[in-house]
Amino acid sequence: MFPPAMDVQRDRLFGALTRIVWMLDSPGSLGGYLGQLGRDHRKYGVMAEHYTAVGNALVATIKRFAAEAWNSEVEAAWVAAYTAAADLMIGSADADAGVSPAWWLAEVIDHELRAPDIAVVTLRPGQRLDFTAGQYVSVQTARWPRVWRTYSIANAPREDNTIRLHVRALPGGWVSTALALHTRIGDQVLLGPPVGTMAPTDSGRDLLCVAGGTGLAPLKAIVEQVIASGKRPNVHLLVGARRACDLYDMPDLVRMESGFPWLRVMPIVSEEPAFDGMRGRVPDVMARFHSWAEHEVYVCGPAGMVNETVRRLQRAGIPLSRIHRDTIQGEL
């Protein structure tokens, strides 16, 4: 079911358990998160009985390491919480099985190496793939069976059912290296169901989009969705990179900007003093502009950059309810 190297799976399991515990007081949000997990587990071939085995192992592990802190009341609480979570995931997977495949087979119809380590890959799923701008999908390549990595979709939904991924190849990155450097037109990949909640809202506010690296992908999709909607809020898209050569999508962004006067694209470079444009760290440059207090904000990029940007925005008076964030998903 799972890949030979389980380090990423362990991290994801721990992250999911932590998130479930923190969300216990928000049943609506927790239900949505667990529903997504249940649907996503279908691509592994997970069945209802597997949740029982995992639950038994989880409780036994916690009991062993909790030592004297463990008692019958604690055990009952863990069993009840896990059972409730598992039931939600099982129910969501069962409901999804009647309307959607567990995974999609997709053909690579275009592959552009935009930088030595960054590729833009265009895929056409064999079946209709319904998604919302800002979501991401998990990807499996023939080179690494059973190894899935997640990538944000870099476009809004299209009539031709194609999706684009922005992929940076990292040293030791199994899937990212396969997609960016070894994939060719005509190859096939597997896609998991679209997930994620960083979708554009209909607040009527102007938008600030802050991207770092390939975190541009979901923000570009959100801008495309705004274009398709016919609405005309003012949109500022800040695109950060270490060097000018890492601004891999600028020609397309410039074309978008030239066609829509309400869209302003601002490239930012942090480690190239000779760059003829805005220089500095993205959170620092963002603070040089007028107040963003009345904007709806979308942020995606490396975790450190995202966290610092969100802190700055909160200090500037923007409530968390108007800050939509995500970290780069598929950098492994």
**49: its two tokens:** 């009985």
Cβ-contact 331, 168 below 8 angstroms: yes
> How high is the pLDDT of residue 17?
77
* Strand order across the beta sheet in which 188-191 lies: 149-152, 136-141, 188-191, 104-115, 118-125, 163-168
What is the fold of 6-98? Globin-like (1.10.490)
> How high is the pLDDT of residue 196?
85
Cβ-contact 262, 234 below 8 angstroms: yes
**Which whole number is the average pLDDT over 81-108?**
91
> How high is the pLDDT of residue 327?
81
Cβ-contact 38, 92 below 8 angstroms: yes
**Which residues 6+ apart lie within 8 Å of 76 measured at CB?**
none
Strands 263-269, 163-168: pairing is unpaired
For 53, phi then psi, to 5°, come to -65, -45
| Tens digit of each residue's pLDDT (9 = 90 or more) over 265-313 | 999 999 999 998 999 999 999 988 878 989 999 999 999 999 999 999 9
Q: Which residue has the tokens 């279908």?
A: 42
**142: its two tokens:** 């023939």
| Tens digit of each residue's pLDDT (9 = 90 or more) over 21-56 | 777 666 667 788 788 888 888 988 899 999 999 999
Helix (H, G, I), strand (E, B) or coil at 158: coil
104-195 homologous superfamily: Translation factors (2.40.30.10)
Check residue 157 and report its DSSP letter: -
pLDDT at 143 over 80: yes
What is the fold of 207-325? Rossmann fold (3.40.50)
Any idea where the domains of the chain sit in the sequence? Answer: 6-98, 104-195, 207-325
* 207-325 has the same fold as 104-195: no
